[in-house]
């Protein structure tokens, strides 16, 4: 990347420039990963109740789906979800530019290009992780997207695919995209194997190389670099934040969403007290009422909230009540109220038992 571009970026960032084209470090300090079938609008509404600061990403939507599909179904979201990035998949610069423009019209805060997803379906359409092999094409895509919108355009990638040498593949991709003005990169710190591993295996089997992502940040201090892959909690996030600008977590906050309740305080230094789990359920009830009134099944929401009491007394009862009742009574938000009452009864019982135990000691 040309040194002038670096210093111009750094200078703009220092001034807190929010001209729409660039992000600042606090914008990307903590984010929840795009996850197909998981981070839909209902999940994101739920996640937002726990953290006002976390940056949220949509599931990947292909450029052609945005151009030709049912846009409202694919792109509509709740205003509460901001800051919110739309992740696009594709490899045709003009199609991506058009999809990015449509995303901008919908009010998203960022357009992200998926260069990391290894699924077969995605490979056959020439997008996702296989694009690591064609960095010039990726740069062409992001240049076209940047030309079409005022929003920040960002890239989420792997460190390489198949036999690529990761340092070369990752740095090449980042440098080519930075040259056309991209300044934020999210790196899932493992390779993807395009043949022989399923998408799921590709999220666990290739070893993580966090060091390479730290080196990327060191080599390009003016770029914003977020690290992703296998980060389990806030403590580990803090460690990574010593070496990168941002962390992105996917599976951990999906399985244990209440970990987000510590994000604003512990990672952003905010003073506000997060909602308790009980308050979150109360906040979900009017949302569930609107949801079913608009014709969606209750389960579209409850399937995302199963982990709310993860590791707590009553966690199992919560999950069981929701999974047994929400699909059957698809238009009845009372299921949430009942599940909460069962959790509270279990917690009271457990506290009384512990008090008796302590008295006997
Ligand atoms: C169910 C599921 C769906 C995913 N879908 C996407 C996707 O649409 N776009 C994408 O870039 N990554 C996708 N990913 C990968 C995640 O964004 C993330 O990079 C990966 O899970 C590693 O982060 P983690 O270890 O914190 O989960 C998906 C992951 C999961 C578990």
Residue nearest to atom 5 of ligand 1 (CA): 35
Asked whether 114 lines ligand 1 (CB < 6 A), one says: yes
Sign of CA dihedral 318, 310, 274, 260: negative
Kindly give the pairing relationship between strand 61-62 and strand 84-89.
parallel
Cβ burial of 242 (10 Å; 0-12, 13-18, 19+) is exposed
- Residue carrying the six token digits 């099944």: 297
Q: CB-based contacts of 9: which residues, under 8 Å, 6+ apart?
A: 22, 183, 222, 223
Query: In this predicted model, what pLDDT tens digit does every residue of 325-359 receive, in sequence order?
Result: 999 999 999 999 999 999 999 999 999 998 898 88
Kindly give the pairing relationship between strand 61-62 and strand 30-32.
unpaired
Sign of CA dihedral 345, 348, 354, 355: negative
Give the integer Cα–Cα distance in Å for 236 and 262: 13
Give the integer Cα–Cα distance in Å for 108 and 57: 10
Q: Which fold has domain 3-266?
A: TIM Barrel (3.20.20)
Asked whether 230 lines ligand 1 (CB < 6 A), one says: yes
Q: What is the DSSP string of 163-183?
A: T--HHHHHHHHHHHHHHTT--
Q: Which fold has domain 277-360?
A: 1.20.120
Q: How far apart are the first and last CA of the chain?
A: 67
Q: Which two tokens stand for residue 259?
A: 């970990």
Give the integer Cα–Cα distance in Å for 296 and 308: 21
Over the chain, what is the mean pLDDT? 93
Asked whether 115 lines ligand 1 (CB < 6 A), one says: no
What is the CA(35)–ligand 1 centre distance, in A? 5
Asked whether 43 lines ligand 1 (CB < 6 A), one says: no
- Residue carrying the six token digits 């917690």: 347
Residue 360 pLDDT level (bands cut at 50, 70, 90): confident
Give the integer Cα–Cα distance in Å for 211 and 204: 17
What is the CA(336)–ligand 1 centre distance, in A? 28
Q: What are phi and psi of 62, to 5 degrees?
A: -75, 155
Average pLDDT for 141-165: 97
Asked whether 89 lines ligand 1 (CB < 6 A), one says: no
Residue 125 pLDDT level (bands cut at 50, 70, 90): low
Average pLDDT for 268-294: 97
The share of the chain scoring above pLDDT 70, in percent, equals 93
Query: In this predicted model, what pLDDT tens digit does every residue of 219-231 receive, in sequence order?
Result: 999 999 999 999 9
Is 141 catalytic? The answer is no
Mutation pick for ligand 1 pocket among 31, 32, 36, 253 (CB with most ligand atoms within 8 Å): 36
Closest CA to 307 of 232, 238, 344, 256: 256
Q: CB-based contacts of 123: which residues, under 8 Å, 6+ apart?
A: 129, 130, 194
Asked whether 59 lines ligand 1 (CB < 6 A), one says: yes
Q: Which atom of ligand 1 is nearest to the CA of 249?
A: 26
Strands (E), the chain: 30-32, 55-57, 61-62, 84-89, 110-115, 153-157, 184-188, 224-228, 246-249
Instruction: Enumerate the domain spans of the chain.
Output: 3-266, 277-360
Q: What is this structure's pTM?
A: 0.93
Query: In this predicted model, what pLDDT tens digit does every residue of 1-51 receive, in sequence order?
Result: 334 444 444 554 444 444 456 899 999 999 999 999 999 999 999 999 999
Asked whether 228 lines ligand 1 (CB < 6 A), one says: yes
Q: Which atom of ligand 1 is nearest to the CA of 231?
A: 26
Q: What are phi and psi of 55, to 5 degrees?
A: -85, 135
Q: Which atom of ligand 1 is nearest to the CA of 34?
A: 17
Kindly give the pairing relationship between strand 84-89 and strand 184-188.
unpaired
Q: Give residue 80's Cα distance to chain centre.
A: 16
Domains 3-266 and 277-360 share a fold: no
Residue nearest to atom 6 of ligand 1 (CA): 35
């Amino acid at each position: 990347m040309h040194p002038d571009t670096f210093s111009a970026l750094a200078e703009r960032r220092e001034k807190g420039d929010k001209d729409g084209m660039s992000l600042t470090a606090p914008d990307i300090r903590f984010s929840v990963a795009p996850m197909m079938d998981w981070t839909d609008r209902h999940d994101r509404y739920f996640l937002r109740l726990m953290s006002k600061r976390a940056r949220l990403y949509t599931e990947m939507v292909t450029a052609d789906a945005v151009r030709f599909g049912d846009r409202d179904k694919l792109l509509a979201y709740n205003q509460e979800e901001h800051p919110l990035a739309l992740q696009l998949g594709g490899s045709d610069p003009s199609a991506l530019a058009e999809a990015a423009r449509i995303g901008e019209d919908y009010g998203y805060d960022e357009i992200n290009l998926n260069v990391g997803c290894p699924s077969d379906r995605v490979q056959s359409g020439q997008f996702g992780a296989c694009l690591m092999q064609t960095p010039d094409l990726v740069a062409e895509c992001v240049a076209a997207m940047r030309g079409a919108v005022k929003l920040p355009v960002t890239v989420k990638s792997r460190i390489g695919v198949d036999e690529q040498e990761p340092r070369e593949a990752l740095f090449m991709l980042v440098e080519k995209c930075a040259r056309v003005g991209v300044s934020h990169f999210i790196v899932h710190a493992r390779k993807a194997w395009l043949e022989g591993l399923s998408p799921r295996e590709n999220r666990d089997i290739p070893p993580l190389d966090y060091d390479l992502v730290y080196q990327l940040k060191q080599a390009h201090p003016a770029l914003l670099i977020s690290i992703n892959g296998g980060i389990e909690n806030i403590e580990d996030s803090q460690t990574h934040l010593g070496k990168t600008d941002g962390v992105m977590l996917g599976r951990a906050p999906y399985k244990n969403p209440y970990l987000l309740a510590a994000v604003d305080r512990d990672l952003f230094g905010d003073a506000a007290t997060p909602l308790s789990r009980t308050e979150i359920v109360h906040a979900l009830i009017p949302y569930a009422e609107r949801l079913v009134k608009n014709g969606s099944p209750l389960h579209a929401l409850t399937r995302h909230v199963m982990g709310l009491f993860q590791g707590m007394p009553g966690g199992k009862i919560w999950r069981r009540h929701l999974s047994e009742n929400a699909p059957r009574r698809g238009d009845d938000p009372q299921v949430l109220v009942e599940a909460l009452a069962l959790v509270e009864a279990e917690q009271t019982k457990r506290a009384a038992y512990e008090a008796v135990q302590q008295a006997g000691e």
